[in-house]
Amino acid sequence: PPYNTGAFRFELTFSPNHPLEPPRATLRTPIYHPSVDPEGRVCQPLTTHVHWEHTTRAVQGGHRGLGGRSAGGAPL
């Protein structure tokens, strides 16, 4: 609680240098959360250059709070 029953829309943006750089995660569902800034940018250690491993896949990030589903509903 309070977010465990909601549906949240995320946008993942991958740079041309991916997988050497982490994707940027933006929450498109307006909510207040301490790990989301006012513009919806998700602030998680996994998505920082310091903690990013080029072998991490977006689906692995999803298990740690980064992922979700694509616009078509397929898992990332």
> Cβ(48)–Cβ(30) under 8 Å?
no
Q: Which one of 20, 31, 43, 59 is the catalytic residue?
A: 43
Exposed, middle or buried by CB within 10 Å (0-12, 13-18, 19+), for 22? Answer: buried
The yes-or-no answer on residue 43 being catalytic is yes
Strand, helix or coil for residue 25: strand
Q: Which two tokens stand for residue 69?
A: 């589903």
Active-site residues: which are they? 43
